[in-house]
């Protein structure tokens, strides 16, 4: 049922390195999210001075964690797949993998394009968060980076020379 | 084409894409976008499509998921499973089936902390199965016990799956955790009864093991302090009013790291691996969440759930037959879909249907979660069964499935109890004055 690492990028080539870099960047934001929340709880309990705008900062860290890790999950072929068909028509599997790779590139391209349009509106209106007045575009940076990076990752996996999709 | 027909076509298209090996998140996003465009036109559909990713960048409640996964990833690496198994073994020592019951008790607590049925089954497959086989347990029963006990995490708080249900169904997570407590521990108790039943019917499968001395039992019991501390922060911290669910998850993950380093059970390399495992798992889950958000907007537009409720009410179907149909749906989906996808895909439709016959979102959350535990051990794609078979290739899959049968029966007993005594779900939330 699950397709973990089945045809993921070779850790020795540039795709494997790119997956690692994405993973480390996302892991850094995850650690920041945890430490920020623990610090807020501790400061609130001990000194009655919680960190101002912690919810907004945690949301930013969460966006960075997920969207920066997303290209890695394409490069590592870690998306959940139902592989019932493998037993029924094994010879069709390479073609189906290639077709879903093409679909991934198209969907991510459309998603990136549409998200960019919404992000432009956010810049034009000068949206800011309510507590810390952080520009909303800060949140859009990981979102767009993740979607566009995932599109490139899906394309890179599709164009692998060894023919594995 | 009518909106209803587009809705049905959208669902068929989704299932077809999933069957054709398209990643589940991608299948959800594609069918959701095309369906939305068919009803409301491409301009609106594309606008909706572009706004969904940003909703994930402003969803504080979702942050609980990676933090609980991190806590589990650290606990898995810090030898806590073996210590817990020894402690539970000390507790049950002397009774027939002690090792199997120790497996169930320790899987219940470790799984709750670890949050992943697959990781729990993989861990205890290494810890408990060799021990049971060494003492003469039937290998199919030993593997079946671990496969089944590995699914308890899905129900016992702090459950990641319940956190995902809370988001999909817009329910309060603390209330769901409180509601899951009694059914979760009732299920663990039913598993213990299943072991005793097997020991009675097939004593050769479950040989008696010499009892440990009192001193050994006490020493072993001390070993469970680490997971007890994590459980305290992750669960009781919420009900004592100390933390919100996200804060509880962050504090518990931090405590797991401190304990792991403090007891020299984990290296820096181990921490980096735990962080990486967490972000990769989070990305895989959240990609499905993004797809499910897109698909559910399409489903809402079709008004399919409302029309289904109206149709069911007009047809005058008995509530029990509707519940039976919902149960059949989850059993069917459980044979090929993972539990996260099952919940995210179905809840927008099944929740209104079930609330239409008098149940509420909290009860349904527990019901649907129990149905997911059944999916994890039912053929042909019981995930925990495959995980165990991969580590013990000498035990055939069919024999492991046979070993899970007593526990599958216990699952169905819990489903029957939930339907017959829905009060078992509300008792704790009522005591905590949450309802």
Nearest to A66 among B22, B67, B286 (CB): B286
CA torsion through residues B158, B164, B166, B167, sign = positive
Residue with tokens 């993950």: B253
Closest CA to B18 of A84, A46, A70, A42: A84
Residue with tokens 């009060």: B423
Q: Is the pLDDT of residue B114 over 80?
A: no
Helices B117-134 and B383-391, interaxial angle, to 10°? 50
The pLDDT score that the predictor gives to residue B286 is 86
Q: Which of residues A22 and B59 earns the better pLDDT score? A: A22
Local mean pLDDT, 10-residue blocks, chain A (165 residues): 49 82 96 96 90 93 94 88 81 90 95 92 85 88 94 90 51
Q: How confident is the model at residue B129 (pLDDT cuts 50, 70, 90)?
A: confident
Is B21's CB within 8 Å of A85's CB?
A: yes
Residues of chain A contacting residue B386, judged by C-beta atoms under 8 Å apart = 1
Residues of chain A contacting residue B119, judged by C-beta atoms under 8 Å apart = none
The pLDDT score that the predictor gives to residue A113 is 95
Q: What is the largest CA-CA distance in chain B?
A: 75
Closest chain A CA to residue B254: A34
Interatomic CA distance for residues B279 and A66, integer angstroms = 7
**ipTM of the complex model:** 0.91
Interatomic CA distance for residues B364 and B381, integer angstroms = 24
Is A63's CB within 8 Å of B18's CB?
A: no
Q: How confident is the model at residue B285 (pLDDT cuts 50, 70, 90)?
A: confident
Closest CA to B339 of B362, B369, B364: B369
At B135-180, the pLDDT tens digits run 888 999 999 999 898 888 888 888 888 988 998 898 998 899 999 9
**Closest CA of chain B from A70, distance in Å:** 5
Is B283's CB within 8 Å of A70's CB?
A: yes
Nearest to B50 among A84, A86, A114 (CB): A114
**Closest CA of chain B from A84, distance in Å:** 7
Is B250's CB within 8 Å of A23's CB?
A: no
Burial of B378 (0-12, 13-18, 19+ CB in 10 A): middle
Residues of chain A contacting residue B46, judged by C-beta atoms under 8 Å apart = 110, 114
Interatomic CA distance for residues B412 and B429, integer angstroms = 24
Is A31's CB within 8 Å of B275's CB?
A: yes
Q: How many CB atoms lie within 10 A of CB A72?
A: 30
At B63-95, the pLDDT tens digits run 888 898 898 888 888 878 888 888 888 887 778
> Is residue A79 a contact partner of residue B26, using CB atoms and an 8 Å limit?
yes
**Closest CA of chain B from A63, distance in Å:** 5
**Closest CA of chain B from A147, distance in Å:** 9
The pLDDT score that the predictor gives to residue B345 is 83
Q: How confident is the model at residue B421 (pLDDT cuts 50, 70, 90)?
A: very high
B34 touches chain A (CB under 8 A): no
Whether residue B380 has a cis bond before it, omega within 30° of 0: yes
Residue ranges of B 354-413 with Cβ closer than 8 A to chain A? 381, 383, 386
Residues of chain B contacting residue A151, judged by C-beta atoms under 8 Å apart = none
The pLDDT score that the predictor gives to residue A8 is 64
Interatomic CA distance for residues B195 and B415, integer angstroms = 19
Q: Is the pLDDT of residue B221 over 60?
A: yes
Interatomic CA distance for residues B136 and B142, integer angstroms = 10
The pLDDT score that the predictor gives to residue B358 is 85
Residues of chain A contacting residue B34, judged by C-beta atoms under 8 Å apart = none
At B313-365, the pLDDT tens digits run 787 788 888 888 898 888 888 777 778 888 888 898 899 889 888 889 999 99
Nearest to B250 among A34, A45, A67 (CB): A34
B43 touches chain A (CB under 8 A): no
Q: Is the pLDDT of residue B404 over 60?
A: yes
Average pLDDT over residues B256-272: 92
The pLDDT score that the predictor gives to residue B220 is 78
Residues of chain A contacting residue B339, judged by C-beta atoms under 8 Å apart = none
Average pLDDT over residues B414-432: 91
Is A35's CB within 8 Å of B70's CB?
A: no
Is B284's CB within 8 Å of A79's CB?
A: yes
Nearest to A82 among B18, B50, B278 (CB): B18
Is B67's CB within 8 Å of A72's CB?
A: no
Closest chain A CA to residue B28: A107
pTM across the whole model: 0.83
B276 touches chain A (CB under 8 A): yes
Residue ranges of B 176-235 with Cβ closer than 8 A to chain A? none
B283 touches chain A (CB under 8 A): yes
Nearest to A103 among B18, B22, B250 (CB): B22
Is A80's CB within 8 Å of B284's CB?
A: yes
Is B272's CB within 8 Å of A27's CB?
A: yes
């Amino acid at each position: 049922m699950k397709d973990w690492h089945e045809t993921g990028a070779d850790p020795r080539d540039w795709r494997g390195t790119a997956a690692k870099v994405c993973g480390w960047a996302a892991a850094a934001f995850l650690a920041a999210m945890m430490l920020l929340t623990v610090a807020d709880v501790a400061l609130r309990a001990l000194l009655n001075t919680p960190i101002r705008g912690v919810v907004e900062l945690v949301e930013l860290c969460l966006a960075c964690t997920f969207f920066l890790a997303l290209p890695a999950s394409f490069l590592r072929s870690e998306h959940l797949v139902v592989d019932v068909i493998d037993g029924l028509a094994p010879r069709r599997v390479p073609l189906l993998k290639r077709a879903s790779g093409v679909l991934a590139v198209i969907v991510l391209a459309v998603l990136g394009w549409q998200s960019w349009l919404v992000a432009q509106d956010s810049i034009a209106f000068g949206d800011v968060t309510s507590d810390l007045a952080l520009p909303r575009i800060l949140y859009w940076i990981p979102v767009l980076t993740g979607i566009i990076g995932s599109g490139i990752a899906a394309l890179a996996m599709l164009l692998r020379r060894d023919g594995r999709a | 084409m009518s909106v209803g027909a587009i809705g049905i076509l959208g669902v068929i298209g989704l299932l077809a894409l999933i069957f054709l090996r398209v990643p589940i998140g991608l299948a959800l996003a594609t069918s959701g976008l095309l369906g939305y465009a068919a009803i409301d036109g491409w301009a609106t559909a594309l606008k909706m499509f572009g706004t969904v990713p940003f909703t994930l960048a402003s969803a504080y409640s979702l942050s609980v998921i990676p933090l609980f996964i991190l806590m589990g990833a650290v606990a898995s690496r810090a030898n806590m499973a073996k210590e817990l198994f020894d402690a539970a073994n000390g507790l049950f020592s002397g009774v027939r089936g002690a090792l199997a019951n120790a497996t169930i008790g320790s899987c219940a607590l470790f799984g709750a902390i670890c949050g992943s049925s697959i990781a729990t089954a993989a861990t205890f497959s290494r810890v408990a199965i060799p021990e049971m086989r060494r003492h003469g347990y039937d290998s199919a029963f030993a593997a079946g016990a671990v496969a089944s006990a590995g699914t308890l995490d899905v129900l016992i708080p702090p459950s990641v799956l319940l956190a995902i249900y809370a988001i999909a169904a817009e329910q309060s997570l603390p209330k769901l955790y409180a509601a899951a407590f009694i059914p979760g521990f009732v299920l663990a108790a039913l598993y213990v009864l299943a072991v005793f039943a097997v020991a009675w019917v097939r004593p050769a499968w479950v040989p008696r093991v010499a009892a440990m001395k009192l001193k050994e039992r006490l020493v072993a019991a001390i070993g469970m302090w680490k997971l007890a501390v994590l459980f305290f922060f992750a669960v009781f911290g919420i009900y004592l009013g100390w933390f919100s669910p996200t804060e509880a998850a962050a504090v518990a993950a931090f405590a797991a790291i401190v304990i792991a380093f403090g007891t020299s059970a984990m290296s820096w390399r181990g921490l980096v691996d735990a962080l990486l495992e967490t972000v990769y798992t989070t990305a895989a889950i959240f990609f499905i969440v993004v797809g499910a958000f897109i698909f559910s907007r399409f489903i809402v537009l079709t008004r399919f759930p409302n029309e289904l409720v109206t149709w069911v009410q007009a047809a005058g179907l008995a509530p029990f037959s509707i519940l039976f149909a919902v149960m059949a749906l989850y059993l069917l989906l459980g044979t090929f879909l993972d539990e996260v996808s099952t919940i995210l895909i179905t809840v927008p439709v099944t929740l209104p249907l079930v609330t239409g016959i008098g149940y509420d979102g909290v009860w349904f959350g527990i019901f649907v979660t129990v149905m997911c535990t059944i999916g994890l051990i039912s053929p042909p794609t019981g995930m925990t069964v495959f995980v165990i078979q991969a580590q013990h290739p000498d035990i055939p899959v069919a024999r492991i499935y046979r070993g899970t049968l007593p526990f599958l029966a216990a699952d169905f007993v819990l489903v029957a109890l939930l339907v017959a005594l829905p009060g078992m779900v509300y008792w704790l939330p009522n005591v905590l004055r949450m309802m």
